[in-house]
Chain A
Amino acid sequence: EVQLVQSGAEVKKPGESLKISCKGSGYKFTKYWIAWVRQKPGKGLEWMGIIYPGDSDTRYSPSFQGQVTISADKSITTAYLQWGSLKASDTAFYYCARAVGSSGLLDFWGQGTPVTVPS
């Protein structure tokens, strides 16, 4: 059974750093892309970027380039999304999803990680 299990809820202060995780299981982790998707409260889905754990090829949506870092450790089948300095506007739910192709369908999703950065 394919599963993506994300790390738990985070409450951080502005300016703090953060790294959240997404552990894949039940499939060959290095053969599929992992995408990260943001959803602000009451708003729609936003494509942040994507990584291929097999070779760490990483591609960012222009809106998120330079704002976050996506990485993966294939030895522990885990992908990461990190911030160097959080802002209140980073408050959102963050989902990881398995992707077929670098811009393709997202067939399995994690449960989401809520990140709260009070202003």
Chain B
Amino acid sequence: SYELTQPPSVSVSPGQTARITCSGDALPKQYSYWYQQKAGQAPVLVIYKDNERPSGIPERFSASSSGTTVTLTISGVQAEDEADYYCQSADHSGTGVFGGGTKVTVL
């Protein structure tokens, strides 16, 4: 089955930049989305259509793509950004799929 691969964890100091990658061979042909899930809460959309931010999402969240990899960047990380982050896209048949998730720890 199709998979999106993310690193299990990323650690970053406050004010620094966190980068989370997501790899999948269908990514060049499908939009990617990113969700933030804080402990005990439902996920929240932070990036859609590769690099668009929903209203209310801070500008420090951005995304980029290169080939079969998309990257979520959090610039000037704050303590409140500590959460699990999931990429989401679709496989070659159009069925939705999530990456395994990346735990961001703010040191």
Contacts and interface: CB of A to CB of B under 8 A. Distances in A.
Interface residues of A, number: 24
Interface stretch (B17-25, B41-49, B65-73, B74-82): B41-49
B-side binding surface: helix, strand, loop or mixed? strand
Given A44-B86, A95-B43, A105-B33, A62 B1 contact: yes
Contacts of B42: 95, 109-112
B43 A59 contact: no
Interface residues of B, number: 26
B61 interface: no
B25 to A, nearest CB: 16
Contacts of B37: 45
Contact of A47 (B44, B54, B84, B96): B96
A20 interface: no
Nearest to A95: B42
A97 B33 CA distance: 14
B43 A45 contact: yes
A61 B35 CA distance: 19
Interface of B: 1, 30-31, 33, 35, 37, 42-45, 48-49, 54, 84, 86, 88-90, 94-101
